[in-house]
Amino acid sequence: MSKQIQDAYIVAAARTPIGRSHRGMFRNTRPDDLLVAAIQAAMAQVPGLDPKAIEDAVIGCAMPEGEQGLNMARVAALLAGLPNSVGGITVNRFCASGLSAVQMAADRIRVGEADVMIAGGAESMSMVPMSGNKPSFNPAVFAKDENIGIAYGMGLTAEKVAQQWKVSREAQDAFALQSHLKAIKAQQAGEFGDEIIPVDVLDRLPNLATGEISVKTRQVKLDEGPRADTTLEALGKLRPVFASPKDTAGKPTGMGSVTAGNSSQTSDGAGCLILASEKAVKQFDLKPLARFVSFASRGVPPEIMGIGPIEAIPAALKSAGLKLDDLGWIELNEAFAAQALAVINTVGLNPEVVNPMGGAIALGHPLGATGAIRAATVVHALRRHNLKYGMVTMCVGTGQGAAGIFERV
């Protein structure tokens, strides 16, 4: 934004741990409650900020219905104790919803329309399924071959990427293993301590003999997904779970290569960032973590949606006036190992700076929350490792890519 009026700074960034969906620690925890916890934690990082200075809360959610419907952004802002004057809007760009929320909040500040904004994301894949509670495709999607990709399951798009970009099963499994190893190492080193907030979980335990239900509270502090027992041998034994791809003649090529082990984990979680103008930074004596530099979104064929970052990354770099070598930390959402490797190899990303603390294969991917969660990871990692620029990028369902760049202040 060469014509922006002012810069937007991230002055707080917090997230909940990420839980495994359906059987994990947040399976009975509402997503708006997770978001409330994240908002309150971010606000605690800026004690000098007057909440009345916040104009709006922009919150991403990929499936904004059920427990995360009814404009969750506004509801959570109020439940978090923010003044009635703080607005709320829930936005949806599927997997990039949280990152788009950060971009939209930053833009309000950069064009001079606001001085303080909240941005974030929340998703419970335990409570709201992948396609929502009542998926209903427009019949026109199936009327023409070029539109059918809109209805493809994400796993099938990953198989198509693996076939077209020639990403082997062995390479995918090796990538998945590294995701877990890096995540475990980062957890043991306390690398997530700056961004993760502890969350209290209520466990209701029935006594079958008496019929009584006891309630116990436990505090969770770590992402639930990383597995220290993951091995190449174990990953290699997992069967492909999606349709086998076909060659150009329409003949099956054999077994597929995308498995539960080399795909992202369906998850529950929330994240929140607070953004401020330079005026607000000075007024409330805030300490910026990073500056929001640029954002780009680009469309790609829906049936190979995983390659979206291939188009979005160069656009975000061009807007920022940067080169790939300027990026010291890259959070590339690992929707699938197949698409992550296709992006890394095609764009020429340095593997050493991509997901240094593991990615969604190990850490989980709570859809609309992921962009905000990974933005929190980046801004804290840049400061912790004394790096200048970092990026969050991901593919998006129905064929999109998104990328946002941050600068350590």
Q: Is the dihedral of CA 178, 180, 181, 182 positive or negative?
A: positive
- The label of the residue with tokens 């990028």 reads 393
Note whether 379 and 119 are within 8 A (CB): no
SS3 content of the chain, % helix, strand, coil (to 5): 40, 25, 40
User: Does 22 qualify as catalytic in the annotation?
Assistant: no
User: Does 385 qualify as catalytic in the annotation?
Assistant: no
Alpha-carbon gap, residue 242 to 244, rounded angstroms = 6
If phi > 0 it is left, if psi is from -120 to 50 it is alpha, else beta; for residue 364 that is: left
Q: Pick the catalytic residue: 61, 272, 365, 380?
A: 365
Q: Is 277 helix (H, G, I), strand (E, B) or coil?
A: coil
Instruction: Give Dmax (Cα) for the chain.
Output: 70
Q: Is 100 helix (H, G, I), strand (E, B) or coil?
A: helix
Burial class for 216, CB neighbours closer than 10 Å (0-12, 13-18, 19+):
exposed
Question: Which parts of 244-301 are beta strand (E)?
Answer: 267-276, 290-299
- 184 alpha-carbon distance from chain centroid: 19
User: Does 61 qualify as catalytic in the annotation?
Assistant: no
DSSP label at 153?
A: -
Q: Is 290 helix (H, G, I), strand (E, B) or coil?
A: strand
Note whether 392 and 195 are within 8 A (CB): no
Q: Pick the catalytic residue: 61, 95, 180, 272?
A: 95
Active site residues: 95, 365, 395
